[in-house]
Structure 1
Amino acid sequence: MTVAHIILLKIKPSVSETQAHDILKAVAHLKEELPGVVESVHLGLNFSARSKGFTHGFTMIFKDKAALETYDKSPEHIRVVTEVIRPNIEDIIAFDYEVEDYSSPRL
């Protein structure tokens, strides 16, 4: 079953717009570095007043949990997280879920 991997970032105030853009570019580039693992990447800046300080976010789509696990353990992903993301953020939220084929989840 398709899996969505959602990440919200609270970028440090000292990080410039260019640096923040470079963080998102590094995340987007993971799709090319991991062909067949990452199906799609959607990313951008927050514009909601309800973001609780989270400024940037992205969603990655994987064909299944195994692909997400491969991504999580990949040296490319680990490098981006440790060298690009972590030094530039105050906080992060990760949320993963299996995507259902209908609009209402089964309860």
Structure 2
Amino acid sequence: MLHHSVFLKFKSETSEAEQAYFIAEARKLAQIPGVMNLKVLLEFNTTNPYTHGLGMDFEDQAAYDLYSNHPIHNRFVQEVWIPRVEVWQEIDHREVRGER
């Protein structure tokens, strides 16, 4: 199981309406085959520089690769993400099992 998380802060000029649009469009990423457990997150710890996040799971690397190259994802990045997001941190991880 692979876990994909990204935490972000919107550009200062991004209105509440545009943030709501961003969230609605982010939820559409669940339509991509292989995306599991999509979550749209709101940060509540004020010491964290990010305000929102997205989290999702993938069964394996092939599912993650399909997501990364899917037209829905690519449109989201180009038309929704880039115009509205100032900074972000992406974290991709898998659980450590056994002796590793």
Asked if structure 1 preserves the Cα contact closer than 8 Å seen for 2:41 and 2:55, the reply is no
1:6 is matched with 5
1: distance between equivalents of 2:26 and 2:96?
25
Alpha-carbon distance, 1:106 to partner: 5.2
1: distance between equivalents of 2:52 and 2:99?
30
Change (3 A) 1:29 1:14: same
1:40 is matched with 37
Asked if structure 2 preserves the Cα contact closer than 8 Å seen for 1:38 and 1:67, the reply is yes
2: distance between equivalents of 1:28 and 1:106?
36
1: distance between equivalents of 2:81 and 2:66?
19
2: distance between equivalents of 1:71 and 1:63?
12
Percent identity of the aligned residues?
Answer: 29
1:50 is matched with 47
The Cα RMSD (Å) is 1.7
1:72 is matched with 68
2: distance between equivalents of 1:95 and 1:106?
22
Query: C-alpha deviations, 1:1-52, integer Å up to 9, x for none?
Result: x1110011110111112211221221111112x13x1012011221112212
2:86 is matched with 90
Matched to 2:35, the amino acid is: V
For normalisation by structure 2, the TM-score amounts to: 0.89
Name the SS for the 1:79 alignment partner: helix
1:29 is matched with 28
Matched to 1:75, the amino acid is: P
1:63 is matched with 59
